[in-house]
Structures are given as structure tokens and as C-alpha cells.
């Protein structure tokens, strides 16, 4: 039997309809704790990007030259031009990957801001991993790098703290309509 003109056949493979509480936003208003957390996150991201730019500006050229000389002496089949091209490629690919990581970080912050609890949990877990790796490498940063790392650590810890305040927890709690 064929459907009549204008008649819609039900799709037997379609997902079930969403419940009313799944269609409504988590809360009508976002608590100030979430906005504060977002500001802390954005500060940490901006500071991280600044650190990347700063690391390119203050890179120790003498140390790079020493590594270059040693690498060329140990492997005479590599020309100086090949070494320089490889080093520049590594620098730009590394910087590009960091920009992508910071972009993803910002995306998760925006998802968290809109009430997605999974993003809040992901940010908390990734922050813990980031914190461990940052603390393990903080001594190698030197001078201004240590100061920037400490400020960024404080911003990330503050952001996580505000994400889990009681008002923030209520914002992420599932809501029942009706």
C-alpha cells in the first residue's frame, strides 16, 4: 500500500522523541559563578597563548646554535639548510598544534558556559592532567616563564573552583518540566 499524496510515513529507524526536560535549558539564568569561571578560563587561555608567543621571542639562539652545530657534526648527511628547514617546520607545527589545543579548550569552556555538564567534567579532568604536567615542568621555564605558569595555574584552579560552587552545580543539574 502506498501513502497518499501529502501523507507522511513514520520513520521506523528514527530516534524516540525527546522528553520535555531534555528540550528545556538547564536553567533560565546562568549563575555568576559560571561567568566568573569563564573569565578565569579565558584569562588562562590568553595567558597560555601569550606564553607561546613569548617563548618564540625569547628563545635562546645560542643554545639552538649549539644544538645545530652538534647535530650537523654527528650526522654529516644533513645539510645546514635541511636542519634549519626541519627546525622551522617543527616550530610552526608545534605552535599550530598549541593554537588548536587552546581553541578546543575555549570551545569546551563555551559548551560549559551553555550548561553542558559533560564539558564541565571534561574541563575538570583535563585541568587535573594539565596541572600535573605543568607542575612537573615548571622549573624549566625560567624567570618570566615561572611567573606566567604560576598565574596560569591560579587561573585554572580558580576556574575549576567556580565551576563546582553550589549555584554552578544547580545550573548543571537536570531539570524536570511539569
Greater pLDDT, 9 or 176: 9
Separation between Cα atoms, residue 71 and residue 57, nearest integer Å: 23
What's the pLDDT tens digit per position in 19-58?
655 555 544 589 999 999 999 999 999 999 998 888 877 7
Residue identified by cell 650526522 is 75
Does 62 have pLDDT greater than 60? Answer: yes
Task: Give residue 4's pLDDT.
Answer: 64
| Ranges of each domain in the chain | 31-171
Does residue 123 or residue 146 have the better pLDDT? Answer: 123
Instruction: Tell me which residue of 30, 25, 15 sits closest to 177, measured CA to CA.
Output: 25
pLDDT at 134 exceeding the cut of 50? yes
- What does the pLDDT average to over 151-165? 97
pLDDT at 73: 84
What share of the chain in percent tops pLDDT 70?
84
Please list the alpha-helical segments (H only) found in 114-142: 117-137
| Percent of the chain clearing pLDDT 90 (strictly above) | 45
Helix axes 80-113, 117-137, angle to 10 degrees: 140
Mean pLDDT of 79-106: 89
State residue 27's pLDDT score.
Answer: 46
Q: Which grid coordinates belong to 144?
A: 618570566
Q: What are the backbone angles phi and psi of residue 142, rounded to the nearest 5°?
A: 75, 140
Q: How far apart are CA 156 and CA 6, in angstroms?
A: 56
Which residue did the predictor score with more confidence, 154 or 75? 154
- For the cut 70, the answer to whether the pLDDT of residue 88 exceeds it is yes
**pLDDT tops 80 at residue 142:** no
Amino acid at each position: 500500500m502506498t501513502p497518499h499524496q501529502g501523507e507522511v510515513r513514520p520513520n521506523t529507524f528514527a530516534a524516540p522523541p525527546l522528553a520535555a526536560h531534555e528540550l528545556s535549558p538547564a536553567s533560565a539564568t546562568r549563575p555568576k559563578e559560571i561567568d566568573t569561571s569563564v573569565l578565569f578560563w579565558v584569562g588562562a587561555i590568553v595567558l597560555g597563548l601569550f606564553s607561546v608567543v613569548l617563548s618564540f621571542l625569547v628563545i635562546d639562539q645560542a643554545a639552538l646554535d649549539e644544538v645545530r652545530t652538534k647535530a650537523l657534526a654527528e650526522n654529516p648527511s644533513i645539510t645546514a639548510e635541511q636542519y634549519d628547514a626541519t627546525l622551522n617546520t617543527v616550530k610552526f607545527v608545534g605552535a599550530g598544534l598549541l593554537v588548536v589545543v587552546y581553541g578546543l579548550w575555549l570551545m569546551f569552556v563555551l559548551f560549559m558556559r551553555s550548561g553542558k555538564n559533560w564539558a564541565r567534567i571534561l574541563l575538570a579532568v583535563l585541568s587535573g592532567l594539565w596541572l600535573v604536567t605543568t607542575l612537573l615542568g615548571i622549573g624549566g621555564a625560567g624567570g618570566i616563564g615561572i611567573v606566567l605558569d604560576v598565574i596560569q595555574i591560579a587561573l585554572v584552579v580558580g576556574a575549576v573552583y567556580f565551576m563546582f560552587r553550589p549555584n554552578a552545580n544547580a545550573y548543571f543539574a537536570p531539570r524536570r518540566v511539569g
